[in-house]
C-alpha cells in the first residue's frame, strides 16, 4: 500500500494540530486544498504531514505558540486519514464552507481555482507523533511495485526489492511514499 507525504506550511500545520494539542485557537483546519489528488488504486488513504520550513508562514503563528512549533519545522509531525476528496465548486457561494474549513479566504481559494481545478481533502483521524520523524525515514513508492514481498515489476529492479534512495527533500505538494525499514 502507498501512503502520501503532504508538504504543508507551518501556519496551516498549526491550525490542523492546535485543538488536538489543547491549544486555544479560533479556527481549526479540517480540509486541505490541493490542485490534484492521489488516484492510485493501492493508496491507503493515509497522508503524512510534513511541516515545511516556510518562515513567512511560521511568522503568522501566534507568538505564544511559535516556540512549540519551531521544533516541528522540516519534520514529519503526524498523519491523517483522507476519507473524502471533492472538487471545489466554481460557484463561490458553494465554495465558502470549504474555504472556512480550509482556513482560507475566498480570494485565496479563488487563486487555487485559477490553476484549473482544486480539490478539498477531508482531514480525519488525526494522529500527532510523540517524536517527529525525519524525511530520510521514508522512500518514494515504486510506481511499478505490485506484490506484497516488495518485488517490482516493470522497473529496473524487477524481481528484487527496489533500491530507491531515501527522501532528502520534501515534495512541492505531495508524493507517494513507503516507510524505510
Domain limits, the chain: 2-179
**What confidence score (pLDDT) does residue 154 get?**
59
Cα-Cα-Cα-Cα torsion 33, 39, 42, 45, nearest 10 degrees, comes to 20
Quickly count: other Cβ atoms within 10 Å of residue 96's Cβ. 13
pTM reported for the whole predicted model: 0.86
**What b/e sequence results for 97-113 when a residue is b if at least 16 CB atoms lie within 10 Å of its CB, and e otherwise?**
ebbbbbbbeeeebbebb
- CATH architecture entry for 2-179: Roll (2.30)
Residues making up the chain, counted from first to last: 181
Residues 31-69: tens digit of each pLDDT: 999 989 999 888 899 999 999 999 999 999 999 999 999
pLDDT higher than 70, residue 85: yes
Task: Identify the pLDDT of residue 151.
Answer: 55
For the record, the C-alpha cell of 160 comes out as 528484487
Instruction: Judge residue 115's burial from the number of C-beta atoms within 10 Å of its C-beta, 0-12 exposed, 13-18 middle, 19 or more buried.
Output: exposed
At how many degrees (to 10) do helices 106-113 and 92-101 cross? 110
Q: What is the pLDDT of residue 114?
A: 65
Q: What is the pLDDT of residues 131-166, one digit of tens each?
A: 999 999 998 887 665 555 555 655 655 555 555 678
* Cα–Cα dist 108/95, whole Å: 11
Find out whether 170 and 6 touch, Cβ atoms under 8 Å. no
Q: Report the mean per-residue pLDDT for the chain.
A: 85
Higher-pLDDT residue of 117 and 65 is 65
Amino acid at each position: 500500500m502507498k501512503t502520501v507525504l503532504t508538504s504543508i506550511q507551518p501556519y496551516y500545520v498549526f491550525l490542523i494540530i492546535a485543538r488536538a494539542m489543547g491549544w486555544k485557537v479560533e479556527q481549526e483546519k479540517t480540509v486541505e486544498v490541493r490542485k490534484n489528488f492521489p488516484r492510485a488504486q493501492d493508496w491507503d488513504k493515509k497522508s503524512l504531514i510534513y511541516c515545511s520550513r516556510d518562515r513567512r508562514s511560521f511568522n503568522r503563528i501566534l507568538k505564544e505558540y511559535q516556540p512549540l512549533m519551531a521544533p516541528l519545522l522540516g519534520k514529519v509531525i503526524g498523519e491523517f486519514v483522507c476519507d473524502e476528496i471533492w472538487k471545489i465548486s466554481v460557484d463561490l457561494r458553494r465554495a465558502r464552507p470549504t474555504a472556512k474549513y480550509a482556513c482560507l479566504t475566498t480570494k485565496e481559494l479563488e487563486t487555487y481555482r485559477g490553476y484549473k481545478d482544486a480539490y478539498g481533502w477531508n482531514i480525519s483521524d488525526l494522529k500527532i507523533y510523540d517524536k517527529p520523524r525525519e524525511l530520510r525515514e521514508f522512500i518514494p513508492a515504486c510506481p511499478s511495485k505490485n506484490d506484497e514481498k516488495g518485488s517490482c515489476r516493470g522497473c529496473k529492479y524487477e524481481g528484487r526489492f527496489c533500491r530507491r534512495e531515501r527522501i532528502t527533500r520534501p515534495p512541492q505538494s505531495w508524493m507517494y511514499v513507503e516507510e524505510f525499514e
